[in-house]
Amino acid sequence: MLSYNNGGIIIATMEARPAGNPLVTETVAAPAGPVAPTGRPRARGLAHALVEDFGRKIRDQALRPGDRLPTEAEIVQAYGVSRTVVREALSKLQAAGLVETHHGIGTFVLQPKASSMFRLDPSELATSIDVLAVLELRISLETESAGLAAVRRTDAQLKVMRDALDSFESSIAVAGDGVGADFKFHLEIAKSTGNPYFADIMEHIGTALIPRTRLNALRNFERRADYLSRVNREHEEIYAAIARKDAESARAAMRIHLTNSRERLRQAQQAVGGTPGAE
């Protein structure tokens, strides 16, 4: 687990877990120095440490394709971090294409693939930074929107969401981009909060809130079918949580979905020397 002392942060070892569920296998000590300050910067650093640890295990094949990662609760106990830190780390691992989460089952290591990152043309950097800013707004707005929708939605509104997802799936099956259905799904979630201001903001932004409507790199992405299939699976996780009226899971699923989009865009920016937007 993570422990704190005046010498820094220590990631301690744990007893070995059953096969297919390995946790920490070595001890890593940070250089001597003051204890990290409390607040978001430290949380981000802890999430990065988790990503590095699991990423190394996947690269070294200590975790192989198909292996299930430890549960959220097990990681919290093993590393001594909060659930928020664990969720952020898992989101980054998903965005990197290393793992995939199936609700109610677990998070599994994916088969390694050729680089699936879409590539930005340098001329699109300014637009991508603006898209990133919209995504950051959406993370704040739509995470809470999903939680409220889970509690307040009607059966009729749930059906509209289902129809939107079915339309999205049908569109990508025939090489469409699914933008209209994508926007309809997110807008219906906003409407289902019962608070008209959520929907007003979404409608004001319009389909411009969907990154692929503004970036040629996404519209012409050679692995777009894989990308849209992943988006569809993330949508299904959100829908499932709202359907069963699980507000906490709905918030988590929406945050993961939008954070994944943000991380993919950050990676593309860095590939062409762009400056990631501020957190």
Q: What is the pLDDT of residues 72-102, one digit of tens each?
A: 999 999 999 998 889 888 877 876 678 888 8
Domain ranges of the chain: 2-109, 122-271
pTM for the full model? 0.54
| Helix or strand run (H / E) with residue 265 | helix 247-271
CATH 3.40.50.720 fits 2-109, yes or no: no
Distance of CA 4 to CAs 8, 9, 79, 92, 203, Å?
Answer: 6, 5, 12, 24, 47
Do the Cβ atoms of 16 and 22 come closer than 8 Å? yes
Express each pLDDT in 162-178 by its tens digit.
999 999 999 888 877 78
Name the CATH architecture for the domain at 122-271: Up-down Bundle (1.20)
Average pLDDT over residues 232-255: 94
The structure tokens listed for 91 are 């989101």
pLDDT (tens digit, 9 = 90+) per residue, 33-46? 333 334 444 556 78
Distances (CA, A) of 58 to 18, 130, 259: 17, 33, 21
| 278/228 Cα distance (integer angstroms) | 26
For residue 157 the two structure tokens come to 């509104």
